[in-house]
């Protein structure tokens, strides 16, 4: 995401571009380094799962609400995921007016793309009665602060929130007339967890000069005219690909960016999983990783 409101002087742009060429960014990172990430789950009450994630100065809050509904006619044995993104006007000046709405739609569409594959999340596990009832997961994303690399931060926070999601155990019985009845367990420990191992993370690669960087700060985003967003699973499988920006990318650059995205994405998935498991074992303590 590049800002139309942010302005860098020619000297600042030159400093950033030359630093990237030398694999030394303005904050001391190498081109394939992420900023420090801090994640915390179960932060919102009255939700089935939630997470708050900070990536540098970018701050994301995600809540997952599970409700029972009817499955889509074309997918009678699957549950559903619905995404809603809200870019708070306080998060960035460019979110004022329709700027925030347009960006929220972009982020929501990106999430829908990477979750469209059946291998991403087992939606059949959300089925209660085939063709009758299923779990519908409403994933609400609130952007509290934007300090660059919004898409990656949102995907990290969504995966963390889904990891923490707990669904009550459902018992389906039939009455004397053969009608199916649904009973939900009221035991807070009698729950079902989602398998998020194959949920991909978004890695955004920004082309600056002749090289590319991951996890661009907002200053670096202002220096980039072309970006590639890649959905990467823990095994390095590409789950989605999208080019953004007005600049062009030659085939060799695209190949290099994809390979870099795969490598970084695999590490990111692994580190997030370790952090979530560690955070769950030491509840209520904020856990950081990377950086």
> pLDDT tens for residues 153-193?
999 999 999 999 999 998 888 776 767 888 888 888 889 99
> pLDDT tens for residues 52-105?
999 999 999 999 999 999 999 999 999 999 999 998 777 676 776 666 788 889
Q: What is the pLDDT of residue 98?
A: 64
> pLDDT tens for residues 30-55?
999 999 999 999 999 999 999 999 99
Q: What is the DSSP string of the chain?
A: ---SS----HHHHHHHHHHHHTT--TTS--TTPPPPEEEEES-STTSSEEEEEEETTEEEEEEEEEEEEPPPTT-TT--EEEEEEEE-TTT-GGGTTHHHHHHHHHHHHHHHHHT-STTTS-GGGGEEETTTEEEEEEEEEEEEE--S-HHHHHHHHHHHHHHH-EEE-EEEEE-TTS-EEEEE---TTSEEE---TT--EEEEEEEETTEEEES--HHHHHT-SEEEEEEE-TT--EEEEEEESSS---HHHHHHHHHHHHHHHHHHHHHHHHHHHHHHHTTT--EEE--
């Amino acid at each position: 995401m590049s800002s139309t409101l942010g302005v860098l002087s020619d000297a600042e742009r030159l400093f950033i571009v030359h630093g990237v060429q030398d694999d030394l960014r303005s904050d001391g990172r190498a081109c394939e380094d992420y900023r420090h990430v801090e994640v915390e789950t179960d932060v919102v009450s009255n939700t089935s799962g939630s997470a708050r994630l900070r990536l540098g100065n970018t701050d994301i809050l995600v809540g997952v609400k599970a409700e029972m509904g009817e499955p889509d006619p074309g997918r009678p044995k699957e549950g559903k995921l619905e995404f809603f993104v809200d870019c708070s006007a306080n998060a960035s000046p460019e979110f004022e007016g329709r700027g925030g709405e347009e960006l929220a739609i972009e982020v929501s569409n990106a999430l829908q793309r990477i979750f469209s594959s059946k291998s991403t999340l087992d939606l059949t596990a959300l089925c209660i009665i085939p063709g009758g009832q299923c779990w519908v997961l409403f994933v609400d994303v609130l952007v509290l602060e934007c300090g660059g690399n919004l898409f990656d931060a949102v995907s990290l926070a969504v995966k963390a929130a889904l990891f923490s999601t707990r669904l009550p155990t459902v018992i389906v019985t039939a009455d004397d007339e053969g009608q199916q009845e649904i009973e939900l367990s009221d035991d807070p420990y009698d729950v079902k967890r989602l398998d998020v191992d194959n949920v991909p993370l978004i890695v955004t690669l920004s082309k600056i000069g002749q090289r590319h960087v991951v996890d661009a700060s907002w200053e670096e985003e202002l220096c980039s005219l072309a970006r590639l967003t890649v959905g990467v699973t823990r095994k390095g499988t590409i789950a989605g690909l999208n080019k953004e920006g007005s600049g062009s990318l030659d085939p060799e650059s695209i190949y290099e960016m994809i390979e870099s995205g795969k490598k970084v994405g695999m590490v990111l998935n692994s580190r997030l999983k370790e952090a979530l498991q560690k955070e769950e074992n030491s509840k209520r303590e904020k856990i950081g990783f990377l950086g």
